[in-house]
């Protein structure tokens, strides 16, 4: 069975990948959760500082504030910088064709075009979220396939094919069905 998808990368899709790539499905590293936990800790340490007047608590407040600033930087600023630096390549159309023996990826845009064919054994890992499948070809590089981008076959067909080729250890579903 052949499965096909056409993807037009935009900033929203890239940002979603960037944030996902920071924690790869491990929810305790989720930037939103980290922000909430740091905010709560900062509030309670500030309350303790006001009650106890202990200056060592200021060090904790400054550290938590720094973590918050770094987290916001990583969520909002860095993805935009990365996207702008690679926008000419990312803005093209990418065509995916999955067959039983291998899959191919073809990129077409105004500044570049190229095609590659890959064996499934070359896939590092696959992560599936509710709306996107991330096919990692290395620890940091992935093909991004929104589930709405399939033109032949369905996301479930791709899951079945990749689980068969990769096994459960390398195909990770990051949500409960």
Global pTM?
0.81
Distant-in-sequence, close-in-space partners of 97: CB < 8 Å, separation ≥ 6: 2, 3, 4, 103, 104, 106
In a domain, 63, yes or no: yes
Q: Is residue 79 located within the same domain as residue 105?
A: no
Structure tokens at 128: 């599936």
96 and 165 share one domain: yes
Looking at the structure, tell me whether residues 96 and 169 fall in a common domain.
Answer: yes
pLDDT band at 174; cut points 50, 70, 90: confident
- 117 in the same domain as 79: no
In a domain, 123, yes or no: yes
Q: Give the pLDDT of residue 123.
A: 96
Query: In this structure, are 77 and 100 located in the same domain?
Result: no
Does residue 94 share a domain with residue 47?
A: no
In the chain, how many domains are there? 2
Report the C-alpha gap between 158 and 2 in whole angstroms.
Answer: 9
Cβ(144)–Cβ(7) under 8 Å?
A: yes
Give the strand pairing for 3-8 and 93-98. antiparallel
Structure confidence by residue, pLDDT tens digits, 37-87: 888 888 888 888 888 888 888 888 888 888 888 888 888 898 999 888 887
pLDDT of 34 strictly over 80: no
pLDDT score, position 25: 58
| Residue whose C-alpha is closest to residue 164's, from 132, 123, 130, 131 | 123
Q: 143 pairs with which residues across the strands?
A: 135
Alpha carbon distance 126, 24 (integer Å): 10
Average pLDDT estimate for 8-32: 79
Backbone angles phi, psi at 52, to 5 degrees: -100, -20
Verify that 125 and 153 share a domain, yes or no.
yes
Sign, Cα dihedral of 84, 85, 88, 94: negative
DSSP element (H, E) containing 3: strand 3-8
Longest dimension (CA), the chain: 69
Helices (H), 27-125: 31-52, 56-72, 78-90
Question: Same domain, yes or no, for 113 and 99?
Answer: yes
- Binned at pLDDT 50, 70 and 90, residue 156 comes out as very high
DSSP state of 114: E
Tens-place pLDDT, residues 89-143: 777 899 999 999 999 999 988 887 899 999 999 999 999 999 999 999 998 899 9
67 occurs within a structural domain? yes
Please indicate, yes or no, if residue 14 is contained in any of the structural domains.
no
> What is the CB-side half-sphere exposure of residue 166 using CA atoms within 13 A?
23
Q: Does 129 lie in the same domain as 66? A: no
Taking 80 as the threshold, does the pLDDT of residue 23 lie above it? no
Is the domain of 68 the same as that of 143? no
Find the domain containing 97 and state its range. 3-9+89-173
Q: CATH number of the domain that 109 lies in?
A: 2.30.29.30
Higher pLDDT, 10 or 30: 10
User: Within this chain, do residues 81 and 109 fall inside the same structural domain, yes or no?
Assistant: no
In the structure, what pLDDT confidence band is assigned to residue 27 with cuts at 50, 70 and 90?
Answer: low
Q: Does residue 117 share a domain with residue 156?
A: yes
Q: Where a domain ends, among 28, 53, 87?
A: 87
């Amino acid at each position: 069975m052949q499965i096909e998808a056409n993807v037009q990368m935009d900033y929203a899709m890239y940002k979603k990948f960037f944030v996902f790539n920071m924690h790869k499905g491990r929810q305790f590293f989720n930037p939103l959760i980290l922000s909430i936990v740091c905010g709560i800790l900062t509030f309670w340490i500030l309350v303790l500082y006001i009650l106890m007047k202990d200056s060592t608590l200021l060090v904790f407040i400054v550290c938590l504030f720094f973590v918050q600033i770094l987290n916001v930087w990583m969520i909002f600023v860095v993805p935009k910088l990365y996207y702008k630096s690679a926008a000419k390549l990312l803005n093209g159309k990418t065509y995916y064709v999955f067959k039983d023996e291998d899959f191919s990826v073809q990129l077409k845009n105004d500044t570049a075009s190229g095609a590659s064919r890959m064996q499934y054994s070359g896939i590092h890992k696959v992560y599936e979220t509710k709306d996107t499948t991330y096919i990692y070809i290395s620890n940091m590089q992935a093909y991004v396939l929104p589930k709405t981008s399939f033109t032949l076959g369905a996301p479930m067909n791709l899951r079945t094919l990749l689980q068969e080729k990769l096994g459960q250890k390398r195909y990770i579903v990051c949500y409960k069905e």
